[in-house]
């Protein structure tokens, strides 16, 4: 990444800030399978339609989703599928970190158990 001017950095920060909310990530994940209405998203997110609409408005402002009115319903779909590449990259990184922590924890437990005198673990 080249050195960006402050205005561009503010836009990048706003982009990531839009992704920094679990309900919005859930909405984007649900839209991965195709377009949905606000009502469908609200049901699947266990949120009110008003709450989902507010999240969708923010996602739309940042270019993540597109809105299409059809009769009395409004449907949303992903505007830029590259958001999934970003999410997959982050999820992969988190999974690797968790795996490393689990391995470190298991090694610590194993080393600690080996350092105890025989039968000490049974008395605990």
**59-68 tens-digit pLDDT:** 999 999 999 9
Percent of the chain with pLDDT over 70: 94
Q: How confident is the model at residue 90 (pLDDT cuts 50, 70, 90)?
A: confident
- When pLDDT is cut at 50, 70 and 90, the band that residue 95 belongs to is confident
3-state secondary structure of 124: coil
β-partners of residue 78 are 65
| Residue 103 confidence (pLDDT) | 86
Q: Which of 9-23, 40-54, 97-111 has the lowest mean pLDDT?
A: 97-111
Q: Report whether pLDDT(25) > 90.
A: yes
CATH number for domain 6-78, candidates 3.50.50.60, 3.40.50.1970, 3.20.20.70, 1.10.10.10: 1.10.10.10
| SS3 category, 64 | coil
Between CA 28 and CA 38, with CA 34 as vertex, the angle to 5 degrees is: 65
Tell me which residue of 51, 19, 57, 22 sits closest to 66, measured CA to CA. 57
* Domain layout of the chain by residue ranges: 6-78, 82-116
């Amino acid at each position: 990444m080249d050195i960006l001017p402050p205005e561009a950095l503010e836009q990048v920060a706003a982009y990531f800030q839009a992704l920094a909310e679990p309900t919005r990530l859930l909405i984007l994940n649900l839209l991965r399978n195709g377009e949905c209405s606000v009502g469908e998203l609200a049901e699947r997110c266990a949120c009110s339609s008003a709450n989902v609409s507010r999240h969708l408005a923010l996602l739309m402002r940042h270019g993540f989703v597109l809105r299409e009115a059809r009769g009395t319903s409004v449907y949303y779909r992903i505007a830029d599928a590259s958001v999934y590449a970003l999410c997959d990259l982050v999820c992969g990184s988190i999974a690797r970190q968790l795996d490393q922590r689990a391995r470190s924890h298991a090694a610590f437990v194993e080393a600690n158990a080996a350092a105890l005198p025989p039968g000490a673990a049974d008395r605990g």
